[in-house]
């Protein structure tokens, strides 16, 4: 669909909605979604702004391929300053909401200010209004979506909303669309809650092909792309059959599965929470946890999991709303709720994940924070008197209770809702927070995979696997196999991954396509859809420009090279078992080279020459 060239600006303080033309000069420099949203945000806010104050802004933005027939072209991003981290936040979601926003004729929505009372934004093509949301405040995401669809008398309206976690400003609260697709990371839901904005409901009826620059070339390029996805073993078979959960046993066997708050790198119950376990029939009703796979808008991979719990499981007695099928465990969630906490009960994990979707919480940061709290409990720093429950590693009961409490803002859940960094600092053990720049690690150990260690330390939104997925080269050999324990060559390779990912995240496509596609597969799709020069060289320059723009915002927000680091555990406590036994992350060998290949000073600041080259 390329750009609609229309921006909706919503001032929540004044209650106004105004239309602006998209700044096309910026679109040509930053493409869309992550890049373009960041350009708008950094141009409009003070980097030192309190993320939860009315002065912070929040941008919902699509890419030029969102809403097109390109495979996976349904993505949108939420760009803001993150409360969990205090740095740039850009959370990407699939489902159907992004495409619907495009069909309604909008590239992006900029929210500014704060509403005096709860509201939601209704968009039906050009008809845009802020509506009272008093009746929705206190409701979950699932309830909110149902109420809005009924009141609009339109089952096809797409809703993106926060649950109670976002209202309560849980630091890792998410924005959820289509019931279980989330802009999950960095606490973007808390920013939405701080603005008294409960939801966006959108319905669009405009044609999908009107803005494609060269429709014939576009059809040819996306058809070739779909063929490549179908022919690739990962995107054509592995992801549709097993989802991202295919990684659980792989990472465990190689000794790269962070376990017990990163104390260990292998989990004895990994098999019980794996993709294979989700396929197995259980004794109670003869059914498997996995019901089917699912897809976001336009996706021909369909990696999504739809699951159904054991109806006899202790967590859902007398709770009929959890007995149906819903968005089931993806790898990162299964790891955080499972291995990080030592919990091997697949149904407890499925339940906790349902609740994270239902009330809008990032299961990665939530599970990792519970893992940190469990370690504090085992050390005697936390006691039952403080927490109200026993919570040793491995307790499915504690996981279930803490999920419910955090979602609803009760009991010790209020403390868990602060996130791991604030929790560990509060109890005098900051070194036990497994975070970078305040954001919790995902499911790969940075000691076992050196490149991932560097990727975490340098990620612009705090620890993240989706900013430079070095697992691809270190585990799968895509595009080439590198030794996980090697440090040589990892810095330039990571830079290439980070810049390429910035392009993909700005296009409207899903990053999972890159298991099969390299940038030369994506470039013809962008070139055919968009007016202008989208050569490979230009796209790589755009990716690098986006990365540096994010970095400059973070530097202005107050981070320094001292923040490009890892917790002491990863730098000093070697892996105890597995193929990488004895290894720590040798960040000091990689970081100086990384700064150098980035064209940054020894202090991690883009040099004047780099800024000029990138047009910053």
- For residue 238 the two structure tokens come to 């592995």
Report in angstroms how near the CB of residue 108 gets to ligand SF4 at its nearest: 20
Question: Where in 125-164 is the site for ligand SF4 (CB under 6 A)?
Answer: none
Query: Residue holding tokens 């975490």?
Result: 456
Report in angstroms how near the CB of residue 418 gets to ligand SF4 at its nearest: 29
Q: Which of 445, 244, 238 is nearest to 340 (CA)?
A: 445
* 516 contacts ligand SF4 (rule: CB under 6 A): no
- For residue 598 the two structure tokens come to 């980035």
| Dihedral sign computed on CA atoms, order 568, 274, 461, 595 | positive
Binding mask of the shown chain, residues 56 to 95, with x at each position contacting ligand SF4 by CB under 6 A = ----------------x---------------------x-
Report in angstroms how near the CB of residue 188 gets to ligand SF4 at its nearest: 18
Report in angstroms how near the CB of residue 300 gets to ligand SF4 at its nearest: 8
Task: Kindly tell me which of 86 and 236 has the beta carbon lying closer to ligand SF4.
Answer: 236
Q: Which of 6, 229, 235, 225 is nearest to 101 (CA)?
A: 6
Q: Which of 611, 175, 165 is nearest to 405 (CA)?
A: 165
- For residue 575 the two structure tokens come to 């892996």
Task: Kindly tell me which of 60 and 120 has the beta carbon lying closer to ligand SF4.
Answer: 60
What's the CA angle centered on 544, arms 482 and 598, to 5 degrees?
A: 65
Exactly one of 199, 299, 346, 466 binds ligand SF4 (CB under 6 A); that residue is 299
Exactly one of 184, 187, 304, 413 binds ligand SF4 (CB under 6 A); that residue is 304
Report in angstroms how near the CB of residue 129 gets to ligand SF4 at its nearest: 30
CB atoms within 10 A of CB 53: 12
Give the containing element (helix H, strand E) for 182.
strand 181-183
Task: Kindly tell me which of 182 and 370 has the beta carbon lying closer to ligand SF4.
Answer: 182
Binding mask of the shown chain, residues 447 to 476, with x at each position contacting ligand SF4 by CB under 6 A = ------------------------------
Task: Kindly tell me which of 299 and 526 has the beta carbon lying closer to ligand SF4.
Answer: 299
Q: How far apart are the first and last CA of the chain?
A: 28
Size of the site for ligand SF4 (CB under 6 A): 11
Task: Kindly tell me which of 130 and 295 has the beta carbon lying closer to ligand SF4.
Answer: 295
| Piece of 21-29, 156-164, 265-273, 297-305 that binds ligand SF4 (CB under 6 A) | 297-305
Q: Are 456 and 441 in contact (CB under 8 A)?
A: yes
Query: Residue holding tokens 């259980």?
Result: 282
* 295 contacts ligand SF4 (rule: CB under 6 A): yes
Report in angstroms how near the CB of residue 515 gets to ligand SF4 at its nearest: 9
Question: Where in 526-555 is the site for ligand SF4 (CB under 6 A)?
Answer: none
| Piece of 198-206, 298-306, 320-328, 349-357 that binds ligand SF4 (CB under 6 A) | 298-306
From the number of C-beta atoms within 10 Å of its C-beta (0-12, 13-18, 19+), residue 26 rates as middle
Task: Kindly tell me which of 122 and 177 has the beta carbon lying closer to ligand SF4.
Answer: 177
Q: Are 567 and 433 in contact (CB under 8 A)?
A: yes
Report in angstroms how near the CB of residue 570 gets to ligand SF4 at its nearest: 28
What's the CA angle centered on 273, arms 339 and 468, to 5 degrees?
A: 60
| Piece of 149-157, 170-178, 280-288, 291-299 that binds ligand SF4 (CB under 6 A) | 291-299
For 58-116, the three-class secondary structure string (H helix, E strand, C coil) is EEEEECCCCCCCCCCCCCEEEEEECCCCCCEEEEEECCCHHHHHHHCCCCEEEEECCCC
User: How many angstroms separate the CA atoms of 290 and 537, rounded?
Assistant: 43
Task: Kindly tell me which of 335 and 595 has the beta carbon lying closer to ligand SF4.
Answer: 335
Exactly one of 228, 230, 302, 425 binds ligand SF4 (CB under 6 A); that residue is 302
Q: Are 549 and 33 in contact (CB under 8 A)?
A: no
Report in angstroms how near the CB of residue 62 gets to ligand SF4 at its nearest: 14
Exactly one of 377, 456, 512, 595 binds ligand SF4 (CB under 6 A); that residue is 512
Residue 331, classed as helix, strand or coil, is: helix
Residue 477, classed as helix, strand or coil, is: coil
Report in angstroms how near the CB of residue 11 gets to ligand SF4 at its nearest: 32
Exactly one of 148, 296, 309, 464 binds ligand SF4 (CB under 6 A); that residue is 296
Task: Kindly tell me which of 331 and 534 has the beta carbon lying closer to ligand SF4.
Answer: 331
Phi, psi of 397 (to 5 degrees): -65, -45
Helix orientation angle between 215-231 and 519-529, rounded to the nearest 10 degrees? 160
- The residues pairing with 264 across neighbouring beta strands, listed in sequence order, are 259
User: Running DSSP on this structure, what letter comes out for residue 361?
Assistant: B
* 303 contacts ligand SF4 (rule: CB under 6 A): yes
Task: Kindly tell me which of 246 and 510 has the beta carbon lying closer to ligand SF4.
Answer: 510
Task: Kindly tell me which of 86 and 304 has the beta carbon lying closer to ligand SF4.
Answer: 304
Report in angstroms how near the CB of residue 245 gets to ligand SF4 at its nearest: 12
Report in angstroms how near the CB of residue 74 gets to ligand SF4 at its nearest: 6
* 510 contacts ligand SF4 (rule: CB under 6 A): yes
**Contacting positions for ligand SF4 (CB under 6 A):** 72, 94, 295-296, 299, 301-304, 510, 512
């Amino acid at each position: 669909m390329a750009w609609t060239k229309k921006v909706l600006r919503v001032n929540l303080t004044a209650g106004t909605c105004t239309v602006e033309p998209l700044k096309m000069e910026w679109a040509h420099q930053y493409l869309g979604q992550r890049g373009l949203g960041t350009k708008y945000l950094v141009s409009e806010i003070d980097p030192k702004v309190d993320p939860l104050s009315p002065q912070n802004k929040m941008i919902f933005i699509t890419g030029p391929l969102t809403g097109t027939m390109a495979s996976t072209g349904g993505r949108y991003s939420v760009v803001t300053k993150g409360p969990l981290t205090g740095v740039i936040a850009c959370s990407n979601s699939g489902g159907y909401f992004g495409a619907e926003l495009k069909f309604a004729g909008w590239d992006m929505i900029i929210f500014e200010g704060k509403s005096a009372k709860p509201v939601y934004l209704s968009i039906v093509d050009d008809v845009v209004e802020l509506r009272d949301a008093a009746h929705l405040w206190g409701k979950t995401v699932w309830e909110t979506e149902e109420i809005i669809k009924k009141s609009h008398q339109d089952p096809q309206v797409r809703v993106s909303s926060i649950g109670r976690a976002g209202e309560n400003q849980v630091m890792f609260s998410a924005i959820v669309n289509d019931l279980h697709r989330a802009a999950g990371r960095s606490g973007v839901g808390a920013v939405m809650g701080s603005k008294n904005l409960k939801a966006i409901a959108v319905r669009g009826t405009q044609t999908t092909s009107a803005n494609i620059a060269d429709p014939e070339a576009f059809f040819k390029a996306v058809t070739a792309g779909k063929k490549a996805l179908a022919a690739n073993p990962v995107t054509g078979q592995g992801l549709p059959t097993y989802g991202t959960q295919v990684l659980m046993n792989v990472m465990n066997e190689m000794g790269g599965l962070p376990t017990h708050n990163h104390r260990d790198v292998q989990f004895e119950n990994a098999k019980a929470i794996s993709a294979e376990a989700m396929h197995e029939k259980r004794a109670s009703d003869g059914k498997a946890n996995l019901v089917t796979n699912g897809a976001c808008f336009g996706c021909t991979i369909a990696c999504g999991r739809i699951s159904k719990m054991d109806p006899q499981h202790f967590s859902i007695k007398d709770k009929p709303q959890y007995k149906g099928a819903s968005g089931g465990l993806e790898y990162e969630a299964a790891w955080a709720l499972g291995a990080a906490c030592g919990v091997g009960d697949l149904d407890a994990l499925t339940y906790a994940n349902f609740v994270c979707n239902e009330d809008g919480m990032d299961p990665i940061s939530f599970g990792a924070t519970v893992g940190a709290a469990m370690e504090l409990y085992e050390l005697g720093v936390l006691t039952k008197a403080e927490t109200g429950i026993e919570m040793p590693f491995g307790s499915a009961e504690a996981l279930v209770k803490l999920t419910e409490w955090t979602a609803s803002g009760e009991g010790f859940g209020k403390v868990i809702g602060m996130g791991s960094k604030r929790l560990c600092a509060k109890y005098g053990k900051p070194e036990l927070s497994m975070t970078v720049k305040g954001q919790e690690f995902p499911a790969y150990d940075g000691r076992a995979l050196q490149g991932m260690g560097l990727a975490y330390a340098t990620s612009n939104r705090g620890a993240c696997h989706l900013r430079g997925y070095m697992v691809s080269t270190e585990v799968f050999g895509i595009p080439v196999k590198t030794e996980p324990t090697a440090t040589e060559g990892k810095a330039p390779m990571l830079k290439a991954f980070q810049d390429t990912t910035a392009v993909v995240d700005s296009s409207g496509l899903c990053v999972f396509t890159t298991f099969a596609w390299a940038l030369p597969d994506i470039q013809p799709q962008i070139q055919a859809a968009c007016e202008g020069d989208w050569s490979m060289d230009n796209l790589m320059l755009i990716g690098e420009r986006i990365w540096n723009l994010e970095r400059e915002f973070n530097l202005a927000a107050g981070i320094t090279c001292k923040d490009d680091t890892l917790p002491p555990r990863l730098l000093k406590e070697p892996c105890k078992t597995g193929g990488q036994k004895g290894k720590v992350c040798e960040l000091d060998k990689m970081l100086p080279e990384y700064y150098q290949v980035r064209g940054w000073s020894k202090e991690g600041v883009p040099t004047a020459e780099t800024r000029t080259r990138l047009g910053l």
